[in-house]
A and B are shown apart, each in its own frame.
Chain A
Amino acid sequence: MNDPLSTFFVVFLAVIMALTLAPVLQNNSARVWENLRQIKFVRKNGVFVSTYLVGAVVLWVGLMIVAPQLYMVDYSFRDGAIGGNPEGHTLVNYSYLIFGRESDEAWFNWLHLQVFLRTIIASVMVTLLAFALCYPIAYYLAQTARGGTARLFLICLILPFWVNEILRAFAFRILFGSSGVINAVLISIGLIDDPIDFIKIDVAMYAGLSYAYILLMVFPIYNAIESLDHNQIEAARDLGSPWWRIHYRVVIPYAKPGIASGCTMVFMLSAGALAVPQILGGPSSLWFTQIIYDWFFSGGDWARGSAYAFVLLFSCIIFVLTIMRLFKVNLGELAK
């Protein structure tokens, strides 16, 4: 009970209980009822509705968003290893990520650092690749395609994404496997003699990652470009602007919020992806989320897993802030 966190929970639960008990109290005590009526919010919504609104949001924001995240951060500063001291805070989990075990000969924990850097860099690459692939399609659908065609294309775009993420990765495994279609075709036209192990050299994984989240890139950009007045493009063309400058000076600046939103989503999902690296990653190529998973379910050190998870979360926050600064958009526009 001396723990400040526990005290916080007591207060927190008390607030929730007070809120849920409010309607009961109104029958018993006229005074409480009168006091509640003084609050403008309650007068405006009525006791029943305001209890529901405040109760549901407090439950969500407090018990589901803020408290678990804060607790995870707190937990990451504790020594949860077997034989470790769970009381008090320590940096041991973070220093493990950077320096590894003290008894190790190497100065840094190269294995984990490498995986971390590769995850971040590869996610940025996947994001750029997805943008390059999706921008022309989004532009075509939003500005060139007409009514029925555009609708049909949009449905076709959504359709593959109703298939489970894992089954999509499975499809890529069939495609890229050593007895898969690509190898079979390459061998039959005589380009190669022995099958190429696409999974080992990570081609399958990168292809699978950019495939998995492409929809989240197409739609925000499409929505942004769709509202662009076609006359602006016509005007630029009439004034003699070549096609690339129209995109560079007219369309892309206009679609900035959509591009920022798409990039954030794709980066966040790739960096946090678990299914695709598990299924399509080679045996030697770990993804950062896989290390986190191992800390939880085979390493048995939840505190260290939490520390690694917080590092991942922190990198995502940095990325979001960079995007916001770079594209000059606010958070509301990112999460549409």
Chain B
Amino acid sequence: MTSDRIQKYMIRFYIGMFFLYLFGPLILMGITAFNTPKFPTAIPIEELTLEWFSVLANDKEMIAGIQNSLLIGVGVIFLAVPIGLAAALLMSQVHKKVQPIYYTIVVSPLLTPGVILGISTLVFWDRLGVWMEADYDTIFYSGIFLTIVGQSTFISAYCMLIFLSRLQRFDRTQEEAALDLGATNVQVFWKILIPFLRPAIGSAAVLAFLTSFENYNTTLFTIQAESTLTTVLAGKVRLGTNPSLSALAVVIVCVTLLGAILHEVYRRKEMRKEKIAAEAAKRAADKADNAMAPV
């Protein structure tokens, strides 16, 4: 019995240490955002200040980076989500013999280091530009465009996996029923398939945006003369640091926490709604049973 208890405490201790390892560095960084010393310092706390947040808000380079990151994120959504959807829909329709090869090719970007995706995109589009004798202000040399393309290469694969898992629960007979009732293929696509996939489209879009927003490895090679939030940040951290970066982290964590809480509240609400609907359905079924039962 006692050895059981010791084991239990050891497990607790390990879990405690693990989460300390996860959160400790971030909490310390958070503290430096409110501390006065110019070099980020967590202890000792000299004086609490909000100065670093205003430094952050006035950092023009950083603001420009954030704007580019947002633009690229939106671009990635519009490129990667439709591609992921098409790839997922095609998966069940390609010939059985081709399927393993097709699958290998489309998941390979997930197993390729980001730097390599960035490099291959950069050299390939540069070559295309040379070959087409394009000017330097065309898309072949545009950092923003190349970054959208480079990031979408692997983000599309993430989106495809999301759609595939949703499609596993799709009942093909719905499509057939609609076609039998005289719907056109386009109508089936827009009125049956897309509404069924809507939640997956939403989560794919969110995932695509977030992945794009924090991507560094691919972006660093494709972005060239432009800048994104991550490249600006990396440059700043390497050259010398100041607590306004910690302030940025605090802002990001707060936004994320808020998002997580909102998502949880929304989920609970949906679950309650479903529960009520299920109960109503059950009541209706009971009523019907009672009505049919011989008195």
Q: Are B189 and A57 neighbours in the complex by a CB distance under 8 Å?
A: no
A136 at the binding interface (Cβ < 8 Å):
yes
A309 at the binding interface (Cβ < 8 Å):
yes
| Nearest-CB residue, chain B, relative to A141 | B15
Using A61-B106, A312-B115, A316-B112 as known contacts, say yes or no to A170 and B29 having CB atoms under 8 A apart: yes
Stretch at the interface among A26-34, A106-114, A273-281: A273-281
Could you list 17 further interchain pairs (A-B, Cβ under 8 angstroms) beyond the known A170-B245, A184-B43? Answer: A46-B189, A52-B86, A56-B82, A56-B86, A60-B106, A60-B156, A65-B105, A71-B123, A136-B11, A153-B15, A160-B23, A167-B29, A167-B252, A170-B249, A181-B28, A274-B216, A306-B119
A48→B190 CA distance, assembly (Å): 11
Q: Are A46 and B124 neighbours in the complex by a CB distance under 8 Å?
A: no
A257 at the binding interface (Cβ < 8 Å):
no
Interface of B: prevailing SS: helix
Q: Are B256 and A159 neighbours in the complex by a CB distance under 8 Å?
A: yes
Q: Which of A49, A181, A296 contacts B221 (CB 8 A)?
A: A296
A175→B22 CA distance, assembly (Å): 13
* Contact residues in B for A320 (Cβ distance below 8 Å): 111
Q: Are A335 and B124 neighbours in the complex by a CB distance under 8 Å?
A: no
Using A140-B11, A164-B214, A164-B252 as known contacts, say yes or no to A156 and B22 having CB atoms under 8 A apart: yes
B153 at the binding interface (Cβ < 8 Å):
yes
B265 at the binding interface (Cβ < 8 Å):
no
A11 at the binding interface (Cβ < 8 Å):
no
* Contacts A/B (CB < 8 Å), 23 sampled: A46-B189, A49-B185, A53-B90, A54-B90, A55-B86, A57-B87, A64-B149, A72-B116, A159-B260, A166-B237, A170-B233, A171-B25, A171-B28, A173-B241, A175-B25, A268-B111, A269-B113, A274-B216, A275-B234, A279-B234, A293-B220, A309-B116, A309-B120
Using A174-B29, A264-B111 as known contacts, say yes or no to A57 and B86 having CB atoms under 8 A apart: yes
* Contact residues in B for A274 (Cβ distance below 8 Å): 114-115, 216-217, 220
Determine which residue in A166, A313, A331 has the highest number of CB atoms from chain B within 10 A of its CB, and name it: A166
Q: Are B15 and A137 neighbours in the complex by a CB distance under 8 Å?
A: yes
A159→B257 CA distance, assembly (Å): 8
Using A46-B186, A289-B115 as known contacts, say yes or no to A171 and B120 having CB atoms under 8 A apart: no
B178 at the binding interface (Cβ < 8 Å):
no
Q: Are B15 and A65 neighbours in the complex by a CB distance under 8 Å?
A: no
* Contact residues in A for B104 (Cβ distance below 8 Å): 331
Using A133-B18, A159-B260, A164-B230 as known contacts, say yes or no to A316 and B25 having CB atoms under 8 A apart: no
Q: Are A272 and B216 neighbours in the complex by a CB distance under 8 Å?
A: no
B41 at the binding interface (Cβ < 8 Å):
yes
Q: Give how many A-B residue pairs fall within 8 Å (CB-CB).
A: 245
* Contact residues in A for B116 (Cβ distance below 8 Å): 69, 72, 272, 309, 312-313
Using A71-B124, A312-B116 as known contacts, say yes or no to A162 and B253 having CB atoms under 8 A apart: yes
Interface size on A, as a range, is 35 or more
Residues from 66 to 112 in B contacting A, C-beta threshold 8 Å: 82-83, 85-87, 89-90, 93, 103-112
A254 at the binding interface (Cβ < 8 Å):
no
B 191-204 binary contact with A (CB < 8 Å = 1; else 0) = 00000000000000
Residues from 285 to 336 in A contacting B, C-beta threshold 8 Å: 289, 292-293, 296, 302, 305-306, 309, 312-313, 316, 320, 331-332, 334-336
Q: How far is the CB of A248 from chain B (nearest CB, A)?
A: 17
Q: Are B186 and A169 neighbours in the complex by a CB distance under 8 Å?
A: no
A77 at the binding interface (Cβ < 8 Å):
no
* Contact residues in B for A313 (Cβ distance below 8 Å): 112-113, 116
Residues from 253 to 295 in B contacting A, C-beta threshold 8 Å: 253, 256-257, 260, 264
Q: Are A181 and B86 neighbours in the complex by a CB distance under 8 Å?
A: no
Q: Are B161 and A336 neighbours in the complex by a CB distance under 8 Å?
A: yes
